[in-house]
């Protein structure tokens, strides 16, 4: 399951917080968080790239393997909006 949401370092769309150097150092690009169980099932590890496709389109994200989410879930933050399209 793919889910989106907020991360601690950015607020709402990130328009203001992404311009703050200290916050940008903590989270400068969106990262897809994947549980180790799911990452091993699909052959991914931290810092690899993953294409995520939905009915609205496709984007590429760096992977972060973490136990902080449910084992069948991929999480991506929404603070970058359409600017993600030009990152990769």
pLDDT tens digits, 42-53: 999 999 999 888
| E-only strand ranges, the chain | 2-5, 31-34, 49-54, 57-65, 74-77
**Mean pLDDT (the chain, rounded):** 74
CATH class of 2-86: mainly beta
The string of pLDDT tens digits covering residues 7-28 is 655 455 445 555 566 655 655 5
Q: Residue with structure tokens 């180790």?
A: 36
């Amino acid at each position: 399951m793919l889910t989106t949401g907020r991360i601690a370092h950015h607020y709402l769309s990130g328009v203001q917080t992404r311009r703050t150097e200290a916050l940008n150092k903590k989270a400068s690009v969106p990262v897809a968080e994947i549980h180790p169980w799911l990452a091993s099932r699909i052959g991914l590890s931290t810092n690899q790239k993953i294409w995520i496709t939905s009915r609205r389109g496709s984007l590429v994200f760096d992977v972060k393997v973490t136990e902080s989410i449910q084992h069948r879930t991929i999480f991506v933050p929404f603070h970058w909006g359409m600017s993600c399209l030009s990152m990769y």
